[in-house]
A = this chain, B = another copy of it.
Amino acid sequence: MRGMGKTLIFGHRNPDTDSICSALAYADLKARTGADVEAVRLGAVSTETQFALDAFATSVPRLVESVVGEASCVILVDHNERQQSAVDIGEVTIAEVIDHHRIANFETAGPLYYRAEPVGSTSTIVLKMYKEKGIAVAPPIAGLMLSAIISDTLLLKSPTCTPEDAAAAYELATIAGVDLHAYGMDMLRAGASVADKSITQLVSMDSKEFNMSGSKVEVAQVNAVDVDDVLSRQAELESAMRDIIGAKGLDLFLFVVTDILNSNSVAVALGPRASAFEAAFSVLLENNRAPLTGVVSRKSQIIPSLTKTFSQG
């Protein structure tokens, strides 16, 4: 690893459970091979992530706003796109990336270790790396990685879930000493309690920005047990979305509410290119919203369709 001193490991802005837990797990793995590393985070932890940290008696990683001055070398987990990373990511050396997303808006000056696999969760890749290095996973770390897989795959029900993710989840549940389905539903319900959250929290807690053929697209997603808990506040939601569209100069802001029990979603689409959403999913917006039947995955069901539509102009 180039540069001096400690290497920071972190996931994307608005961190989800995989970003927090895979950073903690990969930091554990690196530390056990002698590296000087620290897992940190780029934003507030969600209710769901806090539930997982509490369940496995793990402290929340330290919050950092900027990485320059903290470290000359960093490791990215669960993301690679610059606009999802630390604000000054361009000023440090990215030594490694462990990820399971598309690659975009990412560039380095020199060679690096990059490990991406088209699986449901970064933690599934991290578990494979523990095995490749012949290092056993401690029970609390197994619990965190399990939580990440459950979160990213909606308890193995998302189309992004591969057989490798499912096998990893069962294996990690055994190491962590929990029942996969009972723990998983408890964790998802903890994160899906939207009634106690403000609209400001809902639009920002799991929101990612994408550059699509020059257009600025933001897609926020929240899980809910009852989507009407959220949609009953649509007027207030739209007002908050319009503020963000104005502040960031977005072309499209998509807010997706996913029903974790029935694996469907409803989307609210605003912005000058809202019609691109209609074209991408062959739906018509009514009252600025449309159902997305069977859609639960931003990464594999929403982003590719939008990317394709925007690439067609």
Chain A: residues with CB nearer than 8 A to chain B?
Answer: 100-118, 132, 299-300, 303-304, 307-308, 311
CB distance from A78 to the nearest CB of B (A): 12
* Complex A-B: 12 CB contacts under 8 Å: A100-B111, A102-B111, A103-B112, A103-B114, A104-B108, A109-B303, A109-B304, A109-B308, A110-B304, A113-B116, A114-B115, A115-B116
Tell me how many chains of this kind the complex includes. 2
- Point out the residues of chain B lying under 8 angstroms from A304, CB to CB: 109-110
* Residue of A105, A109, A112, A307 contacting most chain B CB atoms (<10 Å): A109
Within 8 Å CB of A311, what residues of B?
Answer: 109
B117, A113: Cβ atoms closer than 8 Å: yes
Residues of B within 8 A of A300 (CB): 110-111
Tell me the bound Cα distance from A113 to B104 in angstroms.
Answer: 14
On chain B, the residues within 8 Å of A107 by CB distance are 102-105
Give bound CA distance, A179 to B104, whole Å: 43
- Once A103-B103, A106-B103 are accepted as A-B contacts, the answer to whether A111 and B115 lie under 8 Å apart by CB is no
- Residues in chain B near residue A108, CB distance under 8 A: 102-104
Residues of B with C-beta under 8 A to A106: 103, 106
Contact B111 A307 (CB under 8 A): no
- When the two chains form their complex, are residues A111 and B104 in contact, meaning their CB atoms are under 8 A apart? no
Inter-chain contact B102/A109, CB cutoff 8 Å: yes
Considering the complex, give the chain B residue whose CB is closest to the CB of A131: B132
A114 to B99, CA, bound (A): 9
